[in-house]
Structure 1
Amino acid sequence: MIPDKAFEIFLVTVPGLEPALCAEVRLKGFKQPKAIPGGVVLKGGWPEVWRANLWVRGAGRVLARLDQFPVVHLAHLDSRARAIPWASVLRPDVPFRVEASCSKSRIYHSDAAAERIVTAIRETLGAPHAADAAVLVRARIDHDICTISVDTSGEPLYKRGYKRAVNPAPMRETMASLFLQECGYTGQEPLLDPMCGAGTFVIEAAEIAARLNPGRARHFAFEQLATFDAAAWQAMRAVKSSRTPAAGCHGSDRDGGAIEMSRANAERAGVAGITTFREASIAELNPPAGPPGLVIVNPPYGTRLGEKDTLGPLYQSLGQTLLRRFAGWRVGLIASDPALAQATGLPFLPGGLPVPHGGLRISLYRTAKLG
């Protein structure tokens, strides 16, 4: 990699959501993004890396690809790793670590591969190796092709920097944002989550409506790289893109503790003024004042034995309430069991592919405007 030339940047997402992430990346002005298995690849320089971390809501992390080459034995990997100009990317005074994965390749021992790269970096650059280092070099050997990248994000990007309180099995912010996008949400209409939990969907929607950058409240691993320009980064972060939302974002939940969590998280995210949360059951659900918008809901999945039988009435009640009281609204419902989704009686459009989440496969079920 030559520091001032364009290189490949890989934005990671959940398998099945690559087209949604690609659409977002294109909408954010990145040039010629391409969806590939596991994420989106584009070409750019370090400013594009910083911008992707700061701007893109749906990416789990951003990898800068340093080199790619065929490799069939560890000695070959060692020589190629030593040829990478590490000093142009890593700092000799900042600790690093290496993770490797091997698939369908003659090099099959990932720990041995990682050790060779660690030694190459240590002996050519002089940087210290540490198991808990924030700077991570990733090596992926697949079908005898080795791709070496540096993880520019550090902590996963779903960690926006505001959520200290979470409920069990929370929806990650990155996935929530892509589901909102797939529902056609742009921030120009009201939004309601009637089972809001820790407020993830409501807060993501409010940030979209207010046009707040998802990475505005956190740090990134690229700040510890040799390529980092603190003044340029501060100038990028200082650009004000916020707007006054056209409509509010609302959450309700029958659990008072969840409402307290949501309010605290919204306060830390800086969107308390454009979100409302109230304790309410599905039977008490009514549309907020104003024009119709989007209902987004992530009900319990029923993963334990017998739970699905007890959840059927909940899904049925939710569907009946929405059909009776929410004319003109669209609905996005996340479910792991098609039978539970259909128990709502809602007129779902043809669905997308299931995606992995917490050891399950979940799908987004969408409606057009309810009659």
Structure 2
Amino acid sequence: MNETFEIFLVATPGLEAPLAAEAAELGWQPVVQPGGVTIAGGWPDVWRANLWLRGATRVLARVGSFRALHLAQLDKRARRFPWASVLRPDVAVRVETTCKGSRIYHAGAATQRIERAIAEELGAPLAPDATLVVKTRIDDDLVTISLDTTGESLHKRGHKEAVAKAPMRETMAAMFLRDMGFDGSQTVLDPMCGSGTFVIEAAEIAAGLAPGRSRSFGFQQLASFDPAAWEAMRRADTRHPVSARFLGSDRDAGAVRMALANAERAGVAALTGFECRAIKDLQPQDGLPGILIVNPPYGARIGNKGPLFGLYAAMGQVFRERFSGWQVGIVTGEGALAKATGLPLKAGPVVAHGGLKVRLWRTGPL
């Protein structure tokens, strides 16, 4: 349990920087790399990363490495690997392999050698649909063994059952809120809330709720898992009082019903409010200005772009005229649509979103 190794936090491409900032706030010393962030720690750090990180999509534990110049050497050294220290003989696994710049270049053949070593030396069953994944990377003849300790992607918090069309992933929503400077004290309003992702994430952050509190993880099937220590970590009370409000609206009554149900399951119904309302009828609530954040349609997801210019122009007019002092964030893949708002928006980094490229366009206080 006291062993220290490298832990790779997988990020949505383009959101490595806010994930690193989040990891630093939680006490780690992150190093940004393409596709994610590395930290050093032991198994309790793996559990805590899965439980608490809002921006990571999965957590990989890099549990060992060795050099192999050909398949026979890979077979021999894989059999010597201490599989029993990390895997259980009664839990099925599957192996995924990538090869880059190495004399071993056939990923399928390498996978077979690793699988055979696990099956014959440990006795663990192999299954193509196993949730526990051993990831093997062979890069410049160095074989690195990692365990996917997450299971289902971390954006699946465990309490959202209903989703609207083209939903924003929770991991992305949390990092976009971070990029807006949200720290839990500001009111957040999403006028196209869909199934409520931005609003629910904001309320959870403000209340100090762990994003992984409602789900299970891959590490619970590992030999290193300590159920008592994990339960103590999971049950630690980190909640604190909330003064801000987190609000959503949508012209689709069905989306509003989904958002209400999702907030109830997440345990933040008392902190959130949702109503059926069109953008043109939007009004700020009483209180200090806050953050207005929206993920509107942008053509590539739903419908054609042409009619959307009018929507963005009308949205920008409402924001300018009624939301003085508020910050605005708009997620879109089309710079021309963002500019159609007439708002003083600045573009954030390109972020991969379901095969598309989007940015968070944001303003200072209007």
TM-score by length of structure 2 reads: 0.97
1:10 paired with 2:19, answer no
Q: Across the two proteins, how many residue pairs are aligned to each other?
A: 366
- Tell me, yes or no, if the aligned pair for 2:248 and 2:274 is still in contact at 8 Å: yes
Measure, in 2, the Cα distance between the counterparts of 1:70 and 1:20.
34
1:294 paired with 2:291, answer yes
1:98 paired with 2:83, answer no
1:26 paired with 2:21, answer no
My pick for the range that moved more, 69-78 or 125-134, is 69-78
1:327 paired with 2:337, answer no
1:168 paired with 2:165, answer yes
1:366 paired with 2:362, answer yes
Q: Which runs of 5+ in 1 are unaligned?
A: none
Measure, in 2, the Cα distance between the counterparts of 1:235 and 1:275.
29
Aligned counterpart in structure 2 of residue 45 of structure 1, from 37, 42, 46: 42
1:232 paired with 2:255, answer no
Measure, in 1, the Cα distance between the counterparts of 2:154 and 2:139.
25
Measure, in 1, the Cα distance between the counterparts of 2:317 and 2:141.
55
Which one-letter code corresponds to 1:87 in the other structure? A
State the secondary structure of the residue aligned to 1:100: strand
Measure, in 1, the Cα distance between the counterparts of 2:69 and 2:194.
49
Which one-letter code corresponds to 1:28 in the other structure? L
Shift of 1:118: 0.7
Measure, in 1, the Cα distance between the counterparts of 2:15 and 2:135.
22
Which one-letter code corresponds to 1:315 in the other structure? Y
State the secondary structure of the residue aligned to 2:286: coil
My pick for the range that moved more, 290-299 or 167-176, is 167-176
Measure, in 1, the Cα distance between the counterparts of 2:223 and 2:40.
20
Which one-letter code corresponds to 1:167 in the other structure? A
Aligned counterpart in structure 2 of residue 355 of structure 1, from 327, 351, 358: 351
State the secondary structure of the residue aligned to 2:130: coil
Q: Which runs of 5+ in 2 are unaligned?
A: none
Shift of 1:23: 0.2
- Tell me, yes or no, if the aligned pair for 2:8 and 2:39 is still in contact at 8 Å: yes
State the secondary structure of the residue aligned to 2:306: helix
- Tell me, yes or no, if the aligned pair for 2:166 and 2:301 is still in contact at 8 Å: no
For each residue in 1:166-225, what CA deviation from the matched residue of structure 2 results, as whole angstroms up to 9, or x when unmatched? 112211111111111011001101000000011111110110011100000001111111
Measure, in 2, the Cα distance between the counterparts of 1:27 and 1:117.
37
**C-alpha root-mean-square deviation of aligned residues, in Å?**
1.4
Which one-letter code corresponds to 1:362 in the other structure? V
Shift of 1:106: 3.3
Measure, in 1, the Cα distance between the counterparts of 2:164 and 2:328.
23
- Tell me, yes or no, if the aligned pair for 2:100 and 2:140 is still in contact at 8 Å: yes
My pick for the range that moved more, 226-235 or 129-138, is 129-138
Which one-letter code corresponds to 2:320 in the other structure? L
Aligned counterpart in structure 1 of residue 135 of structure 2, from 134, 138, 141: 138
Q: Percent identity?
A: 58
1:123-134 alignment runs, 5 A limit: 123-134=120-131
Shift of 1:305: 10
Which one-letter code corresponds to 1:234 in the other structure? E
Aligned counterpart in structure 2 of residue 261 of structure 1, from 248, 258, 261: 258
Q: What's 1:157 paired with?
A: 154
Shift of 1:95: 1.2
Measure, in 1, the Cα distance between the counterparts of 2:211 and 2:145.
27
Which one-letter code corresponds to 2:6 in the other structure? E
Measure, in 1, the Cα distance between the counterparts of 2:300 and 2:97.
33
Q: What's 2:51 paired with?
A: 54
Measure, in 1, the Cα distance between the counterparts of 2:278 and 2:266.
26
1:239-278 alignment runs, 5 A limit: 239-278=236-275
Shift of 1:141: 2.4
Measure, in 1, the Cα distance between the counterparts of 2:172 and 2:200.
13
Measure, in 2, the Cα distance between the counterparts of 1:235 and 1:304.
43
Which one-letter code corresponds to 2:79 in the other structure? R
TM-score by length of structure 1 reads: 0.96
